[in-house]
Structure 1
Amino acid sequence: MAGKAISRREVLRLGAGLSAGAALAACSPAPDSVTSELIHGATGGGLKDTVDPHFPVTMPDIARVRSLFEPLLRFTPDYRIEPCLAESVEHNADATRWTFHLREGVTFHDGRPLTATDVKASLERMGDPKNPTALLSDVAPLIDFPASRAVDPHTYQLVLKQPYGIMDQLLAAYTMGIVPQDFDLAHPIGTGPFRYESLVPGQRSRFLRHDGYWDRKAGVDSLVVIDFTDDAAKVSALLAGQVHTIDNLPAYLAGAIERQGAHTLVSETGGWVPFTMRVDAKPFSDNRVRQAMRLIVDRQQLIDQALSGFGRLGNDLYGPFDPDYLGSALPQRQQDIAQARHLLKAAGHEGLQVELVTSTAVGTGGVESANLLVQQAAKAGVQVRVTKADASTFYGERYLSWVFAQDFWSTRLYLPQAIACALKTSAYNETHFDHPRFTELITAARRTTDPGRRRTLVQDAQRIEHEEGGLIIWAFANQVDGYSHQVSGLQPAREQPVSAYRFNTITLKGS
């Protein structure tokens, strides 16, 4: 199938996740008379697709919100914090008062200038204690919104009830997009390089270039993001010229698409596709079982086969680009079937049988590593039954309830990641981890402004998670994406796929 011309009829057959109309639209000229349109094939998506800047879940969600909205700070391709909508930020001695100086000349998609009042409204939406965005779940109760204020049109001061020394790390995340004070999700307006035109959940979305953009203006007139819940359809669409870029190219196809005239973009990232074990549910409520499962995994085999070699060993800790990362300093976990059997016997779980829920929605290496784990676990007498959930529903109502499952995470520093997934208050605590001492350490670490003390606290927290947590982080995947010969301007980025979804850097040959 790869490499041959694909008819419209075949597009309808291969276009899993696309309705017939959407599939035809994907390979037909846009209804408007435009000079150039970039079409991106995104992995996953479904009927709960959103353009909410503060609550994206799936890959298509992330691609959309990164095109429409921007945070006060952002990460560079090598994952360093740099100014974005805020030219500079400062805090007082105990980090209870953070002051942001906004960039002048920034306009929203409707032409209105960005002001400190918009920042105030955005942070109040993101930090709503009843429904905070994931990375603010920890700090939201600490924000003194009545005392926080717009000092002048280009200066906003955030006041906290307790010290919080990592506010800049949180506010650089892509989920911290600034919106106008009268933001309406039905008509989403941001400051990003593209402005909203339409969204059909589970199918496609379309955006137009924001000509008033303050940074590098998009090299195309419009952007289309298409949901793909099937890898074969996604790759076929790229090779047939129906999309220009795709994220999460199955790694084993990297060489094949090069031979068919397309190209690969490989980025060393801190992204990971973990196995998640709920620590509050049997059998994983027994730490001996969790440790046994970690010793069952042959990590290098998973990298070699599930990722086709595009990855680095993981040691059950996230945040590899964090300066305080401990994972590489700890003894690397290796497969140890004898010890795994010993732990399972001690826990009374010889002949353990478990269900593992996975989906193509978790991206490259997910389903493949799940299938390999079945074989590896059998060596220890553990029967793993894989259930493959539909990509359009995996992140639905049952997400976070699976006892044993998989997920995907993009690159983050350690503390923001822990706040997002490892505390009782975390929005995405897949393992239901709730460890009092760990929580104390994370709380103390995010309060301090002393880098040396923070390092000690963070590394103590990592030791607890390494020994008692519910995550099997077997690798950090190198991000492998695909793009057509028409595309130029992409560069590797540690944060997320396709140059961290900065589509404004792309130009199309002949446009």
Structure 2
Amino acid sequence: MTRRIHAGLAAAIAATLTLGLAACSSHESSGDGGTDGGSGITTAGDGIIGGTPVKGGTLHVLSNQDFSQLDPTRNWVEPEMDFGIRTLYRTLTTFKAAPGAQGLQIVPDLATDLGTPSDGAKTWTFHLKDGLKYEDGSPIVADDIKYNVERSFSPDLPGGPNYAKQYLNAPAGYAGPLHGQRLGPEAIEVPDAKTIIFHLKRPVAEFGYTVTLPTFAPVPIAKEAGANYSNHPFSSGPYKIQTYDRGKQLVLVRNPYWDPATDPVRKAYPDKIVVDQTLGSAGIADRLIASQGDDQDAIAYTDLAPAKVPDVITNPDVKSRLVSENENCTTMLTMDNSKPPFDNKNLRLAVEYAIDKQAFQSSVGGPALADIATTYLPPELTGGKAVDHFGIPVGGDLDKAKQYLAQAGMSGGLSTEITVSTGQRQQAEAIQASLKKININVTINTLDASVVNSVVGDKKTQTGLAITGWCPDYPSGATFLPMLFDSRVIVDTGNQGNMSRFKDPSVDTEMDRIAGLSDVNAANAAWLALDGKIMDSAPTVPLTWQKKPLLVGTNIAGASASPIWSGQIDYATVGLKSVK
């Protein structure tokens, strides 16, 4: 199929495919259908498929990959955060389980409230609820949360959220409890079993949102297993691990000591959750379209394969079982700025102008499944309207690209490599074809999706190019640009934030200045201005703002896309219509 036909098909799909609201928007879907406030895409009802689930039965989750991490210290990949936080562990606060704008609201989880700030929001105090227990019936205590936060500093446990490292008043060089070190009261106080007090380096007015992250889930010291903890995180949530055969199947069963009276968010409808990790994306789509046997009780963990979109939208019954929201994430072509050849800004700008974003958009399913990105911050973080920083035509500007290539002293071209998951092969080929036009020859390396992040995040194995993405951890520019471009978050191994290894001291300084602003509107404007400044250095190329299409079986109820976790089905509320 040629790109022209593919793009035309995708445009036709976009005209009929029912999609939900963009994540992190300031509005919610109307109760009886409507528009999403400007995109021209129709929204469906309340965004929930199948009504209210019944208690019981087995929910099947069909996936083409293992989880890269279920250790709450290291879980910073979508949609693994949604799965872990909603099933296996609880955090101090969490997001409501609701589609649209309601799902952007935080509520108490392990804590009794959203936290009490003092000392100008440099100190935050949380109190734990009564009756909180682990899967063995032992009590959850405040020191367990402190311990997990301390683990996030460990170089032996890389890859997780780094907000604690950024915010806490921890001593320089602190390496975590695996190295025999606990944080002192200058960083975290635990005056009793139900109180935890965080002392921050600077005011953080949104710290109540920060503690929704899995870093702020409890881990008991007695269950420490280092890098192997991911194989069996000790449950504080409604489910516990029964069996986990890595790369094949994960089986969760009820945690008998989870008390729903302490947890108004997680409904925990199914008795059991079985995650099959051995399938291909096309096979998952075929099974859910047919919806036979156990597949009636199944949901997709993997996005709908673009080739299967016509099969879905032309069948009203199947189309009615499609959950699809804007992911509120930016997909990027990341260049390793730390070494040649991409330490040359003019070369990076040549790549910026050479990329045919329309071809890339087609490779991920066309306009029905992705919008073309024109800046790093998604529209939900720029006032709801996309910003086009460079004004480059969607097909690229080869003349301008060649000019920058000449300024880089590389008119004769060059060769490089791109590392992607097996499922991103077609996307990589779109990049390869674009860069070939300016004599940049790209070799494609494909890896299993579960290991791509570790390879690209290792300074020794990172290739010149990679396809990466970023989603805000909560609705704030502070959770986007600093994670992508602050040089102080870069680590040699387990690098999950600044994947381009971009370093600009003036950018770091401006991030610190914005972080200290108390006026939200001023901060938003400053983040947008900084976005443009970074774009001028072209450390990465924004490609698309993805939508997340997920099919469910005919016996699924309570399925809705989380506006926080990149449009993933919210495991807090999904279940079965009936139990056979």
Same fold (TM over 0.5): yes
2:308 — aligned with what? Answer: 253
1:45 — aligned with what? Answer: 66
Equivalent of 2:552, from 461, 464, 483? 483
Alpha carbons of 1:75 and 1:461: their partners in 2 closer, same or farther (altered >3 Å)? farther
Alignment of 1:63-462 (within 5 A): 64-66=83-85, 67-76=87-96, 77-78=99-100, 80-85=104-109, 86=111, 87-128=113-154, 133-136=160-163, 138-139=165-166, 142-143=169-170, 145-147=183-185, 148-174=188-214, 176-180=216-220, 182-184=222-224, 185=229, 187-211=232-256, 212-213=259-260, 214-215=263-264, 216-228=266-278, 230-238=280-288, 239=290, 241=292, 243=295, 244-246=298-300, 247-257=302-312, 262=318, 263-309=321-367, 310-322=369-381, 328=387, 330=389, 332-334=391-393, 335-360=396-421, 366-397=424-455, 399-400=457-458, 401-412=462-473, 413-426=476-489, 427-428=495-496, 429-462=498-531
Contact 1:489 1:506 in 2 (8 A): yes
CA–CA distance in structure 1, aligned partners of residues 232 and 307 of structure 2: 40
Tell which deviates more after alignment, 292-301 or 394-403.
Answer: 394-403
Tell which deviates more after alignment, 459-468 or 416-425.
Answer: 416-425
SS in 2 for 1:285: coil
Tell which deviates more after alignment, 477-486 or 459-468.
Answer: 459-468
Tell which deviates more after alignment, 72-81 or 473-482.
Answer: 72-81
Cα displacement (A) at 1:196: 1.8
Alpha carbons of 1:355 and 1:488: their partners in 2 closer, same or farther (altered >3 Å)? farther
| Counterpart AA for 1:139 | Q
Alpha carbons of 1:355 and 1:325: their partners in 2 closer, same or farther (altered >3 Å)? farther
Cα displacement (A) at 1:100: 2.0
Cα displacement (A) at 1:127: 4.4
SS in 1 for 2:340: coil
CA–CA distance in structure 1, aligned partners of residues 152 and 95 of structure 2: 19
| Counterpart AA for 1:473 | P
Contact 2:152 2:164 in 1 (8 A): no
What's the % identity of the aligned pairs?
A: 17
Aligned residues: 473
Cα displacement (A) at 1:375: 2.7
2:175 — aligned with what? Answer: none
1:506 — aligned with what? Answer: 575
SS in 1 for 2:115: strand
Cα displacement (A) at 1:312: 2.0
Contact 1:108 1:114 in 2 (8 A): yes
SS in 1 for 2:331: coil
* Structure 2: runs of 5 or more not aligned: 1-54, 172-182, 490-494
Cα displacement (A) at 1:206: 1.0
Cα displacement (A) at 1:92: 2.3
Cα displacement (A) at 1:430: 1.5
Cα displacement (A) at 1:348: 1.7
Tell which deviates more after alignment, 230-239 or 484-493.
Answer: 230-239
Alpha carbons of 1:502 and 1:112: their partners in 2 closer, same or farther (altered >3 Å)? same
| Counterpart AA for 1:191 | S
1:471 — aligned with what? Answer: 540
1:11 — aligned with what? Answer: none
1:10 — aligned with what? Answer: none
| Counterpart AA for 2:556 | V
Write out per-residue CA displacement over residues 160-195 of structure 1, whole angstroms, 9 at most, x where no aligned residue. 244344433432234543334544336522332322
| Counterpart AA for 2:488 | T
SS in 2 for 1:475: strand
SS in 2 for 1:157: strand
Cα displacement (A) at 1:340: 0.8
Alpha carbons of 1:249 and 1:126: their partners in 2 closer, same or farther (altered >3 Å)? same
Cα displacement (A) at 1:468: 1.2
CA–CA distance in structure 2, aligned partners of residues 205 and 432 of structure 1: 34
CA–CA distance in structure 1, aligned partners of residues 140 and 518 of structure 2: 30
SS in 2 for 1:206: strand
2:45 — aligned with what? Answer: none
CA–CA distance in structure 1, aligned partners of residues 566 and 388 of structure 2: 28
* Structure 1: runs of 5 or more not aligned: 1-33
CA–CA distance in structure 1, aligned partners of residues 535 and 150 of structure 2: 35
Tell which deviates more after alignment, 341-350 or 81-90.
Answer: 81-90
CA–CA distance in structure 1, aligned partners of residues 144 and 383 of structure 2: 34
Contact 2:328 2:471 in 1 (8 A): yes
Alpha carbons of 1:474 and 1:453: their partners in 2 closer, same or farther (altered >3 Å)? same
Cα displacement (A) at 1:311: 1.8
1:30 — aligned with what? Answer: none
Cα displacement (A) at 1:296: 1.6
CA–CA distance in structure 1, aligned partners of residues 133 and 444 of structure 2: 49
Alpha carbons of 1:63 and 1:357: their partners in 2 closer, same or farther (altered >3 Å)? farther
CA–CA distance in structure 1, aligned partners of residues 455 and 356 of structure 2: 32
CA–CA distance in structure 2, aligned partners of residues 259 and 218 of structure 1: 33
SS in 2 for 1:270: strand
TM-align CA RMSD: 3.2
Moved over 6 A (4+): none
Alpha carbons of 1:410 and 1:509: their partners in 2 closer, same or farther (altered >3 Å)? farther
Alpha carbons of 1:58 and 1:120: their partners in 2 closer, same or farther (altered >3 Å)? closer
Tell which deviates more after alignment, 220-229 or 351-360.
Answer: 351-360
Alpha carbons of 1:120 and 1:174: their partners in 2 closer, same or farther (altered >3 Å)? closer
Alpha carbons of 1:248 and 1:298: their partners in 2 closer, same or farther (altered >3 Å)? same
CA–CA distance in structure 1, aligned partners of residues 541 and 95 of structure 2: 26
